[in-house]
Amino acid sequence: MNQDTSPSLPHLAANAVTVLERRYLKRDQAGKVLETPSDMFRRVAGAIADAEIIFDENADRASLSDEFYELMANLEFLPNSPTLMNAGRELGQLSACFVLPVGDSMEEIFDAVKFTALIHKSGGGTGFSFSRLRPANDVVKSTTGVSSGPISFMRVFDVATETIKQGGTRRGANMGILRVDHPDIMDFIMCKADRKQLNNFNISVGITGEFMEAVKKDENYNLINPRNGQEAGTLNARKVFSRIVNQAWDNGEPGIVFLDRLNRDNPTPHVGIIESTNPCGEQPLLPYESCNLGSVNLGKMVEKGGISWDRLKKVVHMAVHFLDNVVEANRYPLPEISRMTMGNRKIGLGVMGWADMLILLGIPYDSDEAVELAEVLMKFINDEGHEASRKLAKLRGAFPNFKGSLFEKRGDPPIRNATVTTIAPTGTISIIANASSGVEPLFAVSYVRQVMDDDILVEVNPIFDRIARAGGFYSQELMQKIAGQGTLKDIEEIPADIRRIFITSHDISPESHIRMQAAFQKYTDNAVSKTVNFANGATVEDVANVYELAWKLGCKGVTIYRDGSRDRQVLSKKAAPEEQIIRRDDEQQPVKRERPRVLKGWTYQMQTGCGPIYITINEDNRGIFELFTTMGKAGGCAASQSEAIGRMVSLAWRSGIQARQVIKQLQGISCHSPSGFGENKILSCADAVARAIQSHMTANGHGSVREKPAFIRGACPDCGGIVEHEGGCAVCRLCGYSECA
């Protein structure tokens, strides 16, 4: 274990120590922790400084190691998690994100599965474009059979990821992207509708500028078969866009990425085109490329009520030096990845603690002043980051693929790294730094954690804690009240000016979220990972407006999350008895509504592979009540199964289950004899019932009914704390649990 000769030791919050001990610090085979947080920073600093010998055999590695250590121990900059975990250790894999190609042959597909397993085993996450795969039911000449399509192969990747689990240190995570002009796009949009499959994937639709123009004009656009590049039909762009928006409203996916914008900023188009991103969407990469990320803690850049630009400049230059060394120190899981990464030497310097900086400066997150400062700040970081990379190029040479790059074509001086800046979701490293995550607003000012024996612990934002104590309005009762409400805006015990700056994600309009993302994107080489939070009662139209605004303002992608829209969410605050959504068998149960003698109803005809099915939906004065089915041909298995579905749906509705939950359970179930094509395809009688219910809800105005507003948050499966959604991932701020790498 290294001796700690530096005067600076990390001052870590209790949650930070918990996260480090559980997920980062070196252990022996019995699970005993072998290093302190200070030892970890020493280990990482030494390993990254050792790469200096490659460029200068007389380099003072000890002094550089001390500088890197100070940078991390002061929590001014932290690299991505694999670097903290693996630098100076046997594995030595330091990259967080990779993109792998998926070619249109069985050999290429299963090579990609194998490579995925190796990357996940080493602690990385992977992104894929499945757009090169021929569509389902397309011809396969070698076997005279038909293709099963991209979605079926995505399930293979999903199962492989589930199996590996990366030894429990970092969960495997994938991004799956399909171009909007792929013939299977409608099925792809719905592939996670039931939340029962592809749970190791985030999915995004690859949007083109041509498609967005067709949406604006309500025109059809062409589908292209990737097998031969020929047209394979048309779809109405506005209907496809509506399907994307509806599904995102329902459960947060798919996201969207604007492929033309990714490739507009592709620095090496002569090397390849960008088809996909890493799992959280902020890092567009070429096939077989990886990227090494790190983030500056902006909360540490505030001194005496203002930004310390000199300190920020120094930290940015040191961080770029650090990350370029990471490219050399890294042990890449595949030779193809090593060649591509070393050829472009992409790094991604981002930020965390943006919300903290705004609070310390007294600027509300959703103000024009905050958006203006975001542009000024990120331009400064981007400019200084590029200057640092150019200085390294003078000493070490430009990245090998510089010739033919956009830099050379513009006449720019040589630069060491093809990209320098990325805004990533900082997840667990922001917990280590005790900082707000990425460029997100505060998720909450105070958290409730339930521990053994039902004891309640209250976690309070450290800046608010200091201000509340200094202002004389701190109390445990107040902190518990804040945690229960999830927001300060209606708590009159707190001064109005304090409430205004401690604004949380659900106090902020979706439009303000997007404007902040666009402000950072303006001066970021790669992309910006940000979640646009919606209240539970937000409408589909609200989501559509944000997607269109993101396109208008120049974002490279959008991830949205409507509060409470994921099936696995449970309450993480004490709820009133009528709000409880999970009960034990011995607790109060829902009471089945009695059937009136007369009900009004509507009948819908749906075409299935077994013939037409007639679905009748009745309502009472409280809303949707029961469902009956009649097959065109009486008797038989299909008719009996459909009758059973109708009885169970009716029982569910009369017992208080929401219609949309029934739709989720039935939608997408397939049988041996589907009917129809594309958007009109009916997979089974159960799928037909789901479609009929969906049509009924839309036609009768139920789709936009606002549910009772409540601060429903996902609960961490490890500690029961609040789970925050950021960049397509879910992270617990209390223990560091993460749903993705």
- Work out the number of other CB atoms within 10 angstroms of the CB of residue 214: 22
Cβ–Cβ contacts within 10 Å for residue 674, how many? 14
Nearest to 534 by CA among 525, 545, 548: 545
> Positive or negative CA dihedral for 703, 708, 713, 717?
negative
Return the DSSP state at 296: E
Residue 260 to residues 179, 406, 556: CA-CA distances in angstroms? 11, 16, 9
What is the H or E stretch that residue 349 is in? strand 347-352
Tell me which H or E stretch contains 531: strand 531-534
- Provide, for the chain, the percentages of residues in helix, strand and coil under a 3-state DSSP scheme, each rounded to the nearest 5: 40, 20, 40
What is the rounded distance in angstroms from the CA atom of residue 199 to the CA atom of residue 567? 12
Record the tokens describing residue 344, joined without a space: 């472009």
Spatial distance between the Cα atoms of 62 and 407, rounded to a whole number of angstroms: 34
Lookup: tokens for 571: 């309450």
Instruction: Tell me which residue has tokens 């085109």.
Output: 273
Q: What is the DSSP string of 615-649?
A: EEEEEETTEEEEEEEEESS-SHHHHHHHHHHHHHH
Catalytic sites, residue numbers = 278, 280, 282
Spatial neighbors of 62 by CB under 8 A, at least 6 apart, are: 49
CA angle, 198 then 263 then 244, to 5°: 40
**Interaxial angle between packed helices 37-50 and 61-73, expressed in degrees from 0 to 180 and rounded to the nearest 10:** 140
**E strand spans, 190-275:** 201-207, 220-225, 230-236, 255-258
Residue where the block lists tokens 């959703």: 366
Residues 196, 567: Cα–Cα separation, whole Å: 10
Nearest-angstrom CA–CA distance, 295 and 77: 6
Distances in Å between the Cα of 602 and the Cα atoms of 63, 329, 611 are: 78, 67, 20
The answer to whether 499 and 488 are in contact (CB under 8 A) is yes
Tokens 């998690």 label which residue? 81
Distance separating alpha carbons of residues 243 and 265, to the nearest angstrom: 28
Contacts of 42 (CB under 8 A, 6+ apart): 2, 4, 65, 69
SS3 210: helix
In angstroms, rounded to a whole number, what is the distance separating the alpha carbons of residues 328 and 330? 6
Distance, CA of 241 to CA of 259 (rounded, Å): 15
Q: What is the DSSP string of 703-741?
A: TTPPPPP----EEPTTT--EEEEETTEEEETTT--BS--
